[in-house]
Homo-oligomer: A and B are copies of this chain.
Amino acid sequence: MCEANAYVRQDGVEELFLEGVDKVVPMDNQLYLENIFGQKKMIAGTIKELSLVDHKIIIEKI
């Protein structure tokens, strides 16, 4: 499986927000995330960086 883990980066520190993410849909100033276990989360933020080979999605809070 090729899902990634989503982290929130704040002050240079990355905190795990959601594991095993499959879908990410930006909506206005929010991100909708859905993982392979069916969990759904929203966060007020933007995608800062994707690093797919490392399975990482870096989110920055707004």
Contacts and interface: CB of A to CB of B under 8 A. Distances in A.
Contacts of A36: 53
User: How many copies of this chain does one complex carry?
Assistant: 2
A47 B46 CA distance: 10
A48 interface: yes
How would you classify the secondary structure of chain A's contact residues: helix, strand, loop or mixed?
Answer: strand
A43 interface: no
A62 interface: no
Interface residues of A, number: 21
A26 B12 CA distance: 18
9 contacts: A1-B53, A3-B52, A24-B50, A24-B52, A25-B49, A26-B48, A26-B49, A36-B53, A52-B52
